[in-house]
Structure formats: C-alpha cells, structure tokens
Structure 1
Amino acid sequence: MTHPLVLRCRGRAVGHYVHRGDLPARLSPRPYLHPVTTLHGTPVTEERPADHLHHLGVSVAVPDVAGRNFWGGRTFVRDQGPTELDNHGEQRHADWKLRDPDGFVEDLVWTSGGTDLLRERRTVAATGLTADAWALDFTFSLTNPGGEVLSIGSPATNGRPGAGYGGFFWRAPKEPAGAAAPDVFTAAAEGEEAVHGRTADWLALRGADWTLVFAGATDDTRRDPWFVRTGEYPGVGSSLAWDRRLPVPAGGTVVRRLVTVVADGRLDRPAAAALVRKALS
C-alpha cells in the first residue's frame, strides 16, 4: 500500500486519502478518506467496521453500474435477495491533476471484468470555517466512455424498497457501547424515519461531541434523496438512483457535488444552517 495523501486545513491534518491499497475484490476496492477528523482531532469516519466490512470512510460507492458491483459485499438480485456474485468492480487511481495540502484533483477509472465502465474526475478540498469547524468539498464527475447507454442502479431499483443507496457515502463511527446512537435532522424533520429517502437542502448527523452537516451544492445533487442510517449504524449517503435507474448516455457525464461541514461539538439547527451557508458561499 502506498502512503495516503494527507489533507490539511489551517495547518492541521484533517483527513488521509488512501488512493492505492490492497483490499480484496469482494470489498470493491476504491480510493477513500479515512481517518477524517474534526479540527480538534475527533475521528468522524470508520473503515471496514465489523458490521459492514465494505464501508470505507468517505468514498463514492455504487452497488450497480451496468450490473457490476462498486459498493462491495453482496449484490441484491430481484426475486432472490442479497447474493454473493463474482461481479465486483474496482476504482483505480489513474493520475493526479493537482495535489496541494488542502486538496487535490484526481482521475480514476471504474473497471470490472476487463472493461472500463466509467472514467471519473474527482475534486476534493478542505476549507476552514471557524475555530471549531471546517468543510470538505467533494465533487465527482462520472463519464461513460463506451458507445452505448450505461445504467446506474441500486438495490431499490432491483426490488428492495428503501435501499436506494449508491453515490457519495460517509460511514461515521459508532458511539461507545451503552451510549446513544447519533441523531439526525434537517431544517424541517428529525429522526431516521423522517429524513431517510427524502430530499433536503442539508442534513445533519450529530454524535456525542461532533456534528456532520451534509449539503448538496448543485441543483442535481439537491434533487438526490438522502440515504440515512442511525440505528443499525451511522452513515449518510446521497443517492444517484433512489427509485429509478440513472442512465448515462454514451459520452455523457453525471456530476455531483457534496459539501460536508465537520464540526466539533453538538450543533443545533440554527448553527448547522449558518455553517452550511458559510461553506457554500
């Protein structure tokens, strides 16, 4: 494994980007950020937890790209359920276009079974907001290099209602045994059931001494429903194919941009909203 790229904000290391590793094929190898921390050093990501070994900090993971698995683990098959298949893909680092202490631009290739299905341009930047908060700005552009339409799906589009995950995904750490699970809220709703599968300009996941506030930074991104887990495990994703497949025309490109506020302490709604406005300004 090569040494990870260190992402810094205001002179502090706030993230490590693992762009080449030795993960087994079943985990759908891909570059990812872990650990990510608050400015005061509290970890806010988890890597390969026992409950889901294929959860890798902050990454772009999609369970169905033309039938190939870029999420990891089992594949949901209609009328059959979660099934072990030899269909895992890999996101391979191709080139750096920019590497600075506070961010990078990277080219990747999504490949499976000897076929390059997607080419990606990924742009990541860290920006300071306050003495206790910074923002991770994450943009990914997926281009179909083939001559035919390519289709992106999810377990939901393959017959599992409510499981429309796939796209930007952040696996947060569980709280210690006996502690309350992180809570989740938007400007208008609170709790996993109330926010899961719905759109919102921003969504906050709040632990005992940290808060993450996720916001779509483009119109297309804001139209993507949020995939949210707090009870089983803490994780938030922005869904590319919530209840219908997303076609990518030959030569076409899908672009998404997520900005995540990473804050020390437990933010309330007004504080979360204020930091999102600052991060997007």
Structure 2
Amino acid sequence: MSIRVTHVHGEHLAVAAAGTEILRYVYRPDPDPFESRKPYAHPLRTLAGHTVTGYRPNDHRWHKGLQMTASHLSGQNFWGGNSYVHGRGYLRLPERVGSMRHDGFPVLAAEDDRLTVAEDLVWVAHGGREWAREERGIVVHSVDEEAGSWALDWSIRLTNLRSEPLVFGSPTTAGREMAGYTGLQWRGPRDFTGGDVLAPGAGSGAGELMGSQSPWLAFTAEHDDVDARSTVVFAHAPENLDPAHAVHASHWFVRSRPFPTVAFSWAFFEEFRLPPGASFDYRYRVVIADGAWDEERIAAHLKGLAW
C-alpha cells in the first residue's frame, strides 16, 4: 500500500496511509525542560484511525508516545520528570534532567510504500555538556491493508563523548524493586489501561511479564468511543538477544495498571558501563494493528517480516 509523507520543516514528519495519518514524529523540542526535551512519535494510529499512544497524561507529563529514554545515566535523567533517589523516593530535581538535541536528518527517503529516516542527535546533560552522540533510524514499512497493520522500526547507535564511562541504570538498580524502566518507551492512551499483555510461551498479564525476557511482547485493548480493539506488538531484532552482540541483557518493563506502558529496558536489574569513545546499538520493531491479535497470529506476522 502506498504511503504519503509530509515534512513540516523544524517541527515534524508525518506518514499517512489509507486516508489516515498513522505516524507523527515530532523533533521540535517541547517547551518544558523538566520533561526532558527530546523527539518522540505521537500519535501512532492503526490503519482504521485508532490512536495507540498517549501524550502528556496527567499522571506523568513527560510520557510522550514512543520515545527513547534513559532514566538513570551517570546521575542524569533522560526520561524526564522526578528522579528516584534511594531512601527518599521520587524527587523533583531539575538539575538532573537532560535532553536530546536534534541535529539533522542525513537520510530522509520516501518511497511509494516505505519511509527511511536517519537522524543525528546529541544527548546533553543539564548545564549543556554533550555526553553522547546518537545515530537514530526510523523506518515505516509493511503497510498491509488486508492484515490491518503496519510496522515501525526504531534503531539506535549511541557513542560516549565523555572522557569517563557512561553508567546506564534504572530505578531498580538505584534500589526500587521492579521498576527497571529505561530505553525505548511506549505510553499507551488512557483506554489501554487494564489491557491484555501477552508474550510467546510466557503466560500473560503485565504483572507476570514484568522483568521477563522474550523476543516480543504485545499489548491489546478495547477503545473508548468506538467498538474496536487494537494491538501493539514490541519486538527485538535477533541481535538484541545475542549475548555476543548486545551491550547488556534486555528485559521488559510493562504495566497495564495504573497506566499502560512498555519499555525495552536495557538496564533493568543491573547497571552497565559504556567506556569513553565506545558505542552500542539496538534495533526494535513495533507493529500497530487493528483488532485483538492472539499469540499465533502475532508470531506468524513477525515471522513474515524480514529484518
């Protein structure tokens, strides 16, 4: 199926298919630095037009659609909002909140049925020091009207610009149990609260899957206003789960209540260090689909999408 790409220079990229804007990638910084200014994808919609991301919900204003984050990075917070301090809880510490600066799109290639984007970013600590260089990839592909689905690939290559190691962690590595959120994070819309979560051969339910490992995890829910359900599938590229390649083991951070969220956590239970000048990379895939997909359908669909 053909797609239509629109670029509002300095603000956002948008992709439409089947008469619906299915993705808006916003790279213009949001106003509040406490929310950790960074690019994000919102809204994401199914081909039928149902929104599957939330933006600035009243419980966490720094949750914005689908975004790359790092909640605990050498004492800085690239997630946004309050910072967890062991023994004191969550504190408003604006001096810890960093940002990600968009420096350009070296690749912006729109084809009939595919959008390929390469983006240059710099991770900037509070106070202005440049800590890391990111090469990000965004690819929209596999728009399938018959299946009612499309795919978004998101890749990251991050290089340490400091003269000392970057230390990646999470609230769990800082002392809070089962709060390993960090990495690529999705915030679902309010009507996804209480939705169903499943993973291959691993049971179901957000509580059971919190902190688990698997090639993919899916979230399905029923919408408000319309008689419809949608499914969002989060999948690792094969090398992400290969200990010989990945910089650190990944685990799922997932909640269905009190709000819907999923993160590909790259430092759930233990910290990892990135030496000066060193790099790491991950690739992720998100499939957005109309309807409530079961494990068998998800597995078959993912198998048919080449990396």
Q: Which residue number corresponds to residue 217 of structure 1?
A: 237
Aligned to 2:120: 107
Taking structure 1 as the reference length, the TM-score comes to 0.94
1:271 Cα offset (Å): 0.7
Task: Specify every segment of 5 or more residues in structure 1 that has no aligned partner in the other structure, as ranges.
Answer: none
Cα distance, 1:221–1:94 mapped onto 2, change above 3 Å: farther
Unaligned runs of 5+ in 2: 1-8, 223-228, 243-248
Separation in structure 1 between the aligned mates of residue 254 and residue 211 of structure 2, nearest angstrom: 8
Alignment of 1:79-98 (within 5 A): 79-85=87-93, 86-98=95-107
SS of 1:276's equivalent? helix
Per-residue CA distance 1:122-175 (angstroms, 9 max, x = gap): 000011253201111000111101222111111111100101110000111121
> Which residue number in structure 2 is paired with residue 128 of structure 1?
142
Matched, 1:185 2:198: yes
Amino acid at match of 2:36: S
Aligned residues: 278
SS where residue 22 of structure 1 aligns?
Answer: coil
Per-residue deviation, 1:10: 7.0
Counterpart amino acid of residue 219 in structure 1: E
Within a 5 Å distance, the mapping from 1:245-260 to structure 2 comes to: 245-260=271-286
CA deviations on 1:63-85 (whole Å, 9 max, x unpaired) are 11111110111111122211111
The answer (yes or no) to whether the contact 2:215–2:241 under 8 Å persists in 1 is no
Q: 1:116 to 1:174 in 2, by over 3 A?
A: same
1:219-273 CA-partner distances (Å, limit 9, x unpaired):
3357410000101111111011111112111111121111011101110111111
What's the TM-score once normalised by structure 2's chain length?
0.86
Give identity over the alignment, percent: 35
Asked if the contact 1:60/1:168 (under 8 Å) is kept, the reply is yes
1:30 aligned to which of 34, 38, 48? 38
Matches of 2:160 and 2:214 in 1, distance apart?
A: 28
1:215 corresponds to which letter in structure 2? Answer: A
| 1:150-208 Cα shifts (integer Å, max 9, x gaps) | 111111111001011100001111218xxx72110011210011111000111110011
What do you get for the CA RMSD once the two structures are aligned? Answer: 1.8
Amino acid at match of 2:130: D
Which of 208, 214, 220 in structure 2 is aligned with 1:200? Answer: 214
Q: Which residue of 2 aligns with 1:6?
A: 14
CA distance in 1, matches of 2:128, 2:286: 34
Match of residue 144 from structure 1: 160
Q: 1:70 aligns with which of 62, 73, 78?
A: 78
Code of the residue aligned with 1:39 in structure 2: it is L
